[in-house]
Amino acid sequence: MLRPILSLLGTVFSLITLAVVIVGLSLGAVLHIYGKDLPSHESLANYTPPTISRIYSGEGRIIDEFAQERRLFTPAADIPDLVKQAFISAEDKNFYIHGGYDALGIASALVDAVKSRGRNVRGASTITQQVMKNFLLSGDRQMERKIKEIILATRIEETLSKEKILELYLNEIFLGQNSYGVAAAAQTYFNKNLRDLAPHEAAMLASMPKAPSDYHPVRQKERLLERRNFVLREMWENGYLSQAEYEAERAQPLRSVQNGDFTPFSAELPPRDYFTDEIRRQLSLEFGEGEFFTGGLSVRATIDPDMQVHAARALRRQLEAYDRGQGRWRGTGLKLPPEVLGNEADWGPALAALVVPRDIDLDGPWRPAVVLEPGDQAMRIGIEGIEGVQEVPRKDISWLRGDFNATFAPGDVVHVRAVNDDSGAVSHWSLRQVPEVQGGFMAMDVNTGRVIAMQGGFSYQASVFNRATQAMRQPGSAFKPFVYAAALDSGYSPATIVVDAPIEINTPQGLWRPRNSSNKFYGPTPLRTGIEQSRNLMTIRLAQEVGMDVVAAYAERFGVYERMGQFLANSLGSEETTLYNMVAAYA
């Protein structure tokens, strides 16, 4: 009787042992197959994530920033425990005790997948596994990737401390709004530093990693609120919050920059302009765009903020004066549809959504506006940021040919600025337009060569092309001093006589007979008079005597040109260069 029972038990034990061996061998084979060609995890120990490059004024104020991924790297020691606890509660409450993967979590996810016949496939990744996925593997949910993830997670747990793994995770994760890492996200959603976050704000950030677009603070506000409160409850259950703190934080409304509860960080920055964009262009050429946009560079600009304001105003004023002298209206070329013009609640958002220049300040800021109704003596308009319907009087367009009805139509998008009376109150609104003719301005310190003001056009938002550094123009008579400098260095003196008389020069295009601007000839003349009066014929004859090779060498030495053409016409400044090169040469 006992023998059959023992035999049965022996058989069962043998089968169990065989099963364990088979499972063990299978598991070993899987680990060997998937573990042999994995990427190296050791590089993570020295990983430096892409971060924002920032440009500072001379006073140390941030005036612009550039980044492909908006990230502010923060060491683990500088990340408050509250933020760490929120993410651990939301993503991996066993983070500090597991060895890289959570077996119970994986088993639970498998059960759910089987029960739903594959329809409910959820992740069971630990924070360590998510680090592996973000840094070394793809983001798909294939079983093969999961196995590799677990293998790498166990390896990295043996290499890095828990705090280092958490540092990698909290600086790498995407949290929506082009924000990567918790520091950038805190600034994006609350305009706060990490140390200033309240528990409900940290919990809101910890709600984002699964799918930031599914928890948008405006479009998915209720869903995000529910997720935030779930994270707060997890923090309480894990002992990170007391019951009183949990209840108080749970009662807090969902507030964010996107909902208009905080001023956005970008509002503290001046609008991007030609100066900072030129810094970007030059550093991208020197270091490469990849390094500039990801290297976390800190750049101290040479700009003088007060002089920059004066430079922009001076250039804009002269360009606008010339444009108004033409007496022609071009406008913005944009138009709102008729169906939105009847109600401010409709035309307001439609106007705000248009891409029009908003960086112009000339005798006051220029605001986008929409024509609602042209009239005989006044035109009714709606202005961005100004409540109600405003008017432009007929006298304001005296510089234009035609009247309101002939020039404008309902829906036309225009620019306006306020005109104030003696008391400072707005008396009426004045129509404005970005000039068609553009220009450039450059100011440089002659002692140091530092650029202290640069304006590359009327409006950066209207045209990013920098006429100060990119536009090739003929310098004309501004080049003549380099010819005379070459002559003085070649033995001529200010008293040397140069004949101011007609000259004929054979060129491949035919006979060239240059003239003075006065169409007169002055005969033998001292060299100093030639430069004082900007005489063309004396300059050409001087360049011919000195040699265009000498003149070209001077121009190249001063940086006017890289390789100047050695033609006599170029002594009069006919070869193109940039305003930047000319100002640098004079400085």
| pLDDT tens figures, 265-292 | 888 888 899 999 999 999 999 999 989 9
Angle in degrees, CA 145, 151, 153, rounded to 5: 95
Helix pair 221-237, 81-91: axis angle to 10 deg: 100
Q: Do 74-267 and 331-432 fold alike per CATH?
A: no
- pLDDT tens digit sequence for 137-173: 555 555 555 566 666 666 777 778 889 989 989 998 9
pTM, two decimal places:
0.79
Nearest residue to 299 via CA among 53, 49, 583, 551: 53
- pLDDT tens digit sequence for 341-356: 999 999 999 999 999 9
**Coil, helix or strand for 542?**
helix
Assign domain 331-432 to a CATH class.
mainly beta
Position with higher pLDDT, 269 vs 121: 269
pLDDT, residue 287, reads 92
Which residues are known to be catalytic? 91, 477
Q: Tell me if 576 sits within 8 A of 473, measured CB to CB.
A: yes
Nearest residue to 56 via CA among 275, 349, 226: 275
74-267: CATH, from 1.10.3810.10, 3.40.50.300, 3.40.50.410, 1.20.1260.10: 1.10.3810.10
- Is residue 47's pLDDT more than 90? no
Q: Tell me if 164 sits within 8 A of 79, measured CB to CB.
A: no
pLDDT, residue 36, reads 47
Name the residue ranges covered by the structural domains of the chain.
74-267, 331-432, 476-586
- Is residue 309's pLDDT more than 80? yes
In whole angstroms, give the CA distance from residue 289 to residue 347.
Answer: 40
408: Cβ–Cβ under 8 A, 6 or more apart, which residues?
329, 371, 374, 379, 414
Nearest residue to 168 via CA among 159, 176, 52, 366: 159
Q: Which amino acid is at 533?
A: Q
pLDDT, residue 134, reads 65
Averaged pLDDT of the chain: 87
- pLDDT tens digit sequence for 69-96: 899 999 999 999 999 999 999 988 888 8
**Coil, helix or strand for 176?**
coil
pLDDT, residue 198, reads 96
- pLDDT tens digit sequence for 549-582: 999 999 999 999 999 999 999 999 999 999 999 9
Name the fold adopted by 476-586.
Beta-lactamase (3.40.710)
Residue 60: phi and psi, rounded to 5, are 90, 10
Tokens matching residue 535: 């005489």
Binned at pLDDT 50, 70 and 90, residue 30 comes out as: very low
